[in-house]
């Protein structure tokens, strides 16, 4: 009897699962009002750039999308509580990473700006003193590390923020005189400035990379992210895909005209002023005011012209983004060309070296000492060229991202490195010690190359005594900080920056062989893993290379 009940239960579960699999997957998506990126149209349907991309993905995955409207803050709360499965148009920040998961591939880049009424006199960041500023509540351009709150704080500016639920309300506050200035994304502004009788100011800030976001600890998050990443990769590589059609449709207007040169210079000078005034000291502020006096006069002369041009240039910024994407693709093609060219140089070099050695072997009795020396020089040059090309190939490969980061045990990396360097260690009498080394997410092959280059350098540039090398790592929150310390010949402090540049050598090749690429490769590997490298040394007293590696894999799409 029990056996029958058990078999019946299995049959019932099987039938239930088959019925579930035959149904389309319903996906709940948050939508808020931020035209033209995402909004609800007159019929109440989700529209804009993000819905078009997501609709395309859903049609290929056989998903049924259920768009759930709300304010920006409501959408984020629903995402955190797993009431929705996907939220488009979310800028990454460290605080948000604690609450949400993000797509690995970025979708779009935007930035923010200050907007005012036509009769207002706000021309630079200092003019925000004692002003009322309308902002979108919990937006990254308000709360982000480069948002408006941190920006005015850096300049010691006293102003008042009015937080509302949508960008339409932000612009409405300024239009009705309830606020002096508005903070909004440039994509919303280019389609809505004329509707609210507002104009641009030269104050541009908070560049943001935008992603699809998913709830933490949801059973479907990994599935949604993987499928969306897959389709994003496909459509971004196809110049005729829905991705580029949507960019053209929503962000690029045929009426756009070239951005005035004078305003580009104003932006550059203003950005320089922001960097200089980071400390917010009163003295620096006074100096900047004096230096920007001439710029203000120029702005006043041209502001009327700029306002007239506004309706014609709408979204020139996005045209720059598209051209940047084209340049990125061109750079990838150039990288592939450099790789193929360098690879093809190997064969003629091997041929030159082989035939020279064959000439020396076959005609050695007929050659005088000078001829033999010439052949040796040529063979040595060919071999050095092969080493140089191999190093260049290794350097170019560091930037490739076709290997997904996996957990890597640094203890195992060190063990393999010491096996590879066994001969050099024995010949030099090197003593290598280490403390605990952690497990991180990274590219195992490249981390092995990093360890081998640094330890090999310490052995090569040894002092009068046998090399002594000690390796340790310290926990620093999101990072591990590594220390490679030796007792070698050391490095003069004036060469600290130079040693990480490609082809930079500090010593004669006869005394210390090499191509001058090793440390440049190390730097590139570390930066790919989200860290940085520095050196502490004194000539004749050893060297310590210090670098950081992120505990979790950095987002390589940015």
pLDDT tens per residue across span 361-413: 777 777 777 777 777 777 666 666 666 566 566 655 566 555 678 899 999 99
The pLDDT assigned to 258 comes to 37
Return the DSSP state at 48.
S
Give pLDDT < 70 ranges for the chain. 1-23, 252-295, 299, 301, 303-304, 306-308, 311-315, 317-318, 320-321, 324-351, 353, 379-403, 495, 501-516, 553-558
Q: At what angle are helices 410-420 and 444-460 packed, to 10 degrees?
A: 50
> Over 500-545, what HEC string results?
HCCCCCCCCCCCCCCCCCHHHHHHHHHHHCCCCEEEEECCCCCEEE
Closest CA to 111 of 64, 77, 146: 146
Helix (H) or strand (E) holding 469: strand 468-476
- Which residues sit opposite 102 in a β-bridge? 213
- Residue length of the chain: 558
Q: Report yes or no: 171 and 198 within 8 Å, Cβ to Cβ.
A: yes
Phi and psi, residue 543, nearest 5°: -140, 145
Instruction: Enumerate residues 6+ apart whose C-beta is below 8 A from 22.
Output: none
Distance in Å from the first CA to the final CA of the chain: 61
The pLDDT assigned to 19 comes to 42
The pLDDT assigned to 385 comes to 65
Alpha carbon distance 228, 63 (integer Å): 12
Q: Report yes or no: 226 and 57 within 8 Å, Cβ to Cβ.
A: no
Residue the block writes with tokens 């009498």? 429
**How crowded is residue 368: how many other Cβ atoms within 10 Å of its Cβ?**
8
The pLDDT assigned to 82 comes to 93
Cis upstream peptide for 36 (omega within 30°): yes
pLDDT tens per residue across span 458-494: 888 887 888 999 999 999 888 999 999 998 888 877 7
Q: Report yes or no: 186 and 110 within 8 Å, Cβ to Cβ.
A: yes
Task: Supply 187's token pair.
Answer: 């994509």
Instruction: Enumerate residues 6+ apart whose C-beta is below 8 A from 260.
Output: 302, 305, 306, 309
- Which residues sit opposite 68 in a β-bridge? 30
Instruction: Enumerate residues 6+ apart whose C-beta is below 8 A from 269.
Output: 292, 295
Residue the block writes with tokens 């310490």? 458
- Cα distances from 389 to residues 339, 355, 398, 401, in angstroms, run 10, 20, 14, 21
Return the DSSP state at 161.
E
Instruction: Enumerate residues 6+ apart whose C-beta is below 8 A from 40.
Output: 31, 33, 46, 47, 67, 69
The pLDDT assigned to 109 comes to 83
- Show the DSSP H helices in 363-443 as ranges: 369-397, 410-420, 422-428
- Show the DSSP H helices in 145-205 as ranges: 148-154, 167-175, 186-192
Helix (H) or strand (E) holding 457: helix 444-460
Cis upstream peptide for 215 (omega within 30°): no
Q: Where are the beta strands (DSSP E) in 157-251?
A: 160-164, 181-185, 198-215
- Exposure string for 201-210, b = 16+ CB within 10 A, e = fewer: bbbbbbebeb
Closest CA to 535 of 498, 505, 508: 498
Which strands, in side-by-side order, build the sheet including 533-537? 431-434, 468-476, 479-486, 543-550, 533-537
pTM over 0.75: no
């Amino acid at each position: 009897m029990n056996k029958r009940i058990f078999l019946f239960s299995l049959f019932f579960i099987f039938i239930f699962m088959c019925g579930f699999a035959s149904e389309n997957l319903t996906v709940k998506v948050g939508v808020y009002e931020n035209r033209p990126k995402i909004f609800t149209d007159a019929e109440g349907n989700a529209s804009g750039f993000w819905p078009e991309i997501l609709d395309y993905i859903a049609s290929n995955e056989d998903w049924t999308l259920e768009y759930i409207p709300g304010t920006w803050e409501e959408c984020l709360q629903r995402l955190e509580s797993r009431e929705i499965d996907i939220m488009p148009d979310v800028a990454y920040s460290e605080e948000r990473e604690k609450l949400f998961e993000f797509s690995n591939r970025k979708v779009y880049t935007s930035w923010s700006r200050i907007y005012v009424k036509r009769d207002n006199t706000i021309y630079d960041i200092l003019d925000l003193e004692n002003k009322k500023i309308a902002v979108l509540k919990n937006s990254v351009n308000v709360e982000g590390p480069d948002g408006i709150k941190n920006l005015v704080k850096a300049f010691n500016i006293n102003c008042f923020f009015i937080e509302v639920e949508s960008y339409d309300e932000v612009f409405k506050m300024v239009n009705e005189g309830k606020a002096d200035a508005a903070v909004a994304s440039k994509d919303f502004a280019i389609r809505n400035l004329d509707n609210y009788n507002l104009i641009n100011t030269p104050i541009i800030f908070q560049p943001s990379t935008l992603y699809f976001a998913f709830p933490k600890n949801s059973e479907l998050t990994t599935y949604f992210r993987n499928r969306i990443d897959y389709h994003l990769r496909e459509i971004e590589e196809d110049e005729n895909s829905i991705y580029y059609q949507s960019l053209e449709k929503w962000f690029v207007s045929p009426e756009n005209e070239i951005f005035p040169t004078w305003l580009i210079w104003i932006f550059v000078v203003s950005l320089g002023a922001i960097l200089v005034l980071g400390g917010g000291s009163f003295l620096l502020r006074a100096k900047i005011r004096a230096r920007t006096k001439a710029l203000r006069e120029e702005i006043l002369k041209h502001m009327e012209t700029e306002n007239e041009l506004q309706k014609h240039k709408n979204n020139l910024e996005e045209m720059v983004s598209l051209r940047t994407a084209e340049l990125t693709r061109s750079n990838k093609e150039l990288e592939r060309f450099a790789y193929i060219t360098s690879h093809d140089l190997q064969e003629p070099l091997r041929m030159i070296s082989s035939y020279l050695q064959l000439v020396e072997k076959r005609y050695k009795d007929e050659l005088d000492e000078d001829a033999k020396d010439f052949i040796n020089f040529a063979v040595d040059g060919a071999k050095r060229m092969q080493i140089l090309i191999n190093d260049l190939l290794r350097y170019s490969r560091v930037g490739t991202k076709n290997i997904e980061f996996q957990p890597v045990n640094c203890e195992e990396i060190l063990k393999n490195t010491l096996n590879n360097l066994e001969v050099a260690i024995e010949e030099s009498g090197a003593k290598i010690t280490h403390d605990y080394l952690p497990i991180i997410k990274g590219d195992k092959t490249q981390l092995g190359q990093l360890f081998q280059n640094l330890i090999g350098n310490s052995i090569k540039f040894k002092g009068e005594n046998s090399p002594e090398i000690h390796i340790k790592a310290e926990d620093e929150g999101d990072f591990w900080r590594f220390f490679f310390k030796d007792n070698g010949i050391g490095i003069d402090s004036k060469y600290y920056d130079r040693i990480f540049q490609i082809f930079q050598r500090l010593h004669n090749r006869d005394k210390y062989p090499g191509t001058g690429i090793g440390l440049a490769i190390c730097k590139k590997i570390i930066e790919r893993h989200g860290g940085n490298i520095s050196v502490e040394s004194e000539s004749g007293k050893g060297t310590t290379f210090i670098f950081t590696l992120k505990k979790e894999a950095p987002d390589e799409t940015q």
